[in-house]
Amino acid sequence: MNQERPPLDPHPLSEYVAWAGARNREPLLGVLKEKLPKESSQVLELASGSGMHINYFAPHFGHLHFHPSDKDREVFENIKKLSADHGNDNIANPIHLDLTKPETWFNTDNHGRFSVIFCINIFQVAPISIADGMMECAARLLNNDGFLLIYGPFQIESSFTTDSNKEFHDTLRSAGVPEWGLKDIADLKKAAANHGLELKEKIDMPSNNFSLIFGRKSL
């Protein structure tokens, strides 16, 4: 994609987020085609934002039922509009889900409901503290053999994998928002371990990003 990068703006309906989403959706679709279940299953997206990703992926998986979610209800109409515009009848209405508030994580009758949970490009602008909620939520809602996929740029053991990731981190930090910046995979692994999950696979992606796949610890 040759479009010039818009000014940094993490709002889910911003031009910047749309630009970033258009850059990563094809590589992510490739990973999902390999990893998503081949039989009818339920899939949950955390922090769906504008809904651009879930609406791009859903038509490729007619046998799956997708559930968008976000803590900000202001994006719900955009998600529903995209679903209607694309005729995606395998996408449910968005639900309010806040990773810092367990009471929003479905009720206990839905324990083990989802085969897959995925979350795209959240940690560079979210506090690492939400990792604990994300892992607890996944442990509660995933089937026994389900997995959580987290996509984005990360540090590895306090090191940047490329100069461009260090530059991106510095740009985020320069905004003066304390929680902005590339987080460390090691911290995600610690949060996962607290809730019976572990990093199963780390997939290198274009633009120096990763797809991290977490599942229940092996016995």
Spell out the domain ranges in the chain.
15-216
Q: What is the mean pLDDT of the chain?
A: 86
Which is more confidently placed, 18 or 196? 196
Please name which of 192, 204, 213 lies closest in space to residue 153, comparing C-alpha atoms. 204
> What is the pTM for the complete model shown?
0.88
pLDDT value, residue 111: 53
Q: What is the mean pLDDT of residues 166-175?
A: 72
Q: What is the CA radius of gyration of the chain?
A: 16
* Of the listed ranges 92-96, 101-105, 120-124, 157-161, the one predicted with least confidence: 157-161
**The domain at 15-216 falls in which architecture?**
3-Layer(aba) Sandwich (3.40)
pLDDT tens column, 2-36: 457 756 555 555 565 555 656 788 999 999 999 99
